[in-house]
Structure 1
């Protein structure tokens, strides 16, 4: 592209220089020749006037007197009737420019000048025109190279940007070139890069969330299947199989919820549900894990509470909080339900050291963890709670108290405080 731009610009300049240069040479040649002819004619007229004035004054007319009145580079011949012709200067050879003037008494003066002087003047003029044309061509080439680089370099950059997008690097360059058309292409590529970046981020986030959220249900399901395979009691098999089927349903709900949040985080289908049932389900599901770790789960608070949300999402949030307590905390994991204003609250706490002071509210940020964990669980839990119109808060750092706030469904019956019951 650079070569084509330079060649086309150079061709245009050469055509313009040739047309105007030839025309200017022709005009200048004619002007110089005409000027030289007028000068010779003027010299002849001036010389004949001098001769006539001297004849009328009866002054001497000789070669020495006339030589002082003529250009040394010219030749003059003065003819006076009854006298011998007078010649001044050296008669030029070859082509000459001749001017003749006649007096009233029959006198005549002929002035000649070599045409080589005109040729030399024309040569100097052509040299100047040629130098100017050469400078114009050089300036045109430099301008063409600059313009070609200005147009070709951005295209190379845009091609590299498009190649980076194709190779999976969606970082926008935010580089502009001062050319509206190229800047428009750069705007489109940057917008595409940002969209691709958001899509890749969403896909990576979905993969991380899926691996984190599916791990617990799969572990619990594996433990149920191990218990089934280790017993010969048909009733135990049926009981464990029923629980396993429930966990499979929850696993399916987790997958659907993750896919729904990936498409639209606010597309949850909130309904009124029995909060006790969801809390009890999580207690039953995490009982084997807590037992194997030598720990217990305590459930207390008001019973018969109704909440508005998505049961599967609420179960995932509680699972994330319980898992967080089992992984980072110590002692008994306590779940407590209560009512505050028009909201139902589920608190999850343990007897561990709590959240370090340097983490604070950042505990809900992705990749933030007090230990060597993924740092995804609490972030996903907060996203799920907000998608249902609720919120997840850390009420206390030491010991840790996490609270899930949900909209409350008004009840026609009173609920009463239940004493703590340890699930072993």
Structure 2
């Protein structure tokens, strides 16, 4: 704004002051020339009157007719040259010559120094006026810029606060209709965001509370089943696996509630990926046998990843379940490293993900078949909350990958 207003003022100064200076300069020169012409005419009239009355013409009679700084010459046929004043110094003096009926000639001269001095004063005055105009423009621009910059900075801080999860409205107005309208919209948005956050947190708390009670009861019942000595070994084994699943689901519910309360997420720790993969193999063994499919684990072993075992197990379980539901053939879980990341890929031999879905498979309610479409979305949220990420690497064959931090000090096998 300062640069724009200053540029406009400079253009105005150039457009108006330069032509005005040229016009004023010519006016000063013309005025001085007119004075010289008038002095020559006046002297000629006096000389004509004295000659007409047969009076002598000498310099003593016209000494008072020449102003200081001016010079005049009177030439009368048959008489010596009469000079009045001091000849001007410098080049190109202003000169006027008049001739009478009797052959007399009067020449008046004036130095240009006085004219140039007057022109200099005029230019100085115009320069001062232009400088004052520029200073006034700069002062006005600075005032206006500050008047607009402060509200804009304040609005930017408000938007940043909304983005950081602080939905408190500020109720500030600035006297500028457009900015006040933006402030009103931000305050209204803050109130809506606050209501939505409150509703989501209440829903998460209620869901966690409602789920914890039946999960606790189910966990206690499974513990009772595993404690019965007369139960067949297979029943006790299945009950133990179910108990592990309940415990993991309880951990997931607690983590979802924690993520709602704390947007910074938990501090990840190192864990052995082999243990998580072994647990998945055991949990899905019965389901795989029932569907006449198999789970193949390959790739590196002994990889220590950063994260929470329960969360990673839940994400892996979602991917394996997704392969069993939508895929076909062998489900392959592959472990590899990529830079400082540990990557766990889940692949099956099915038709793959339709091209029109692409990465939309992670959006809620988006599903290739008649399912809720929530599983992959929740799995991605869990992975990101645990410090990792879940990506779709290939459509055909379908390859989902979990990227986790890796403890670089441990050497994978």
TM-score normalised over the length of structure 2: 0.48
CA radius of gyration, larger in: 1
Provide the TM-score with structure 1 as the length reference.
Answer: 0.47
Structure number with the bigger relative contact order (C-alpha 8 A, sep ≥ 6) is 1
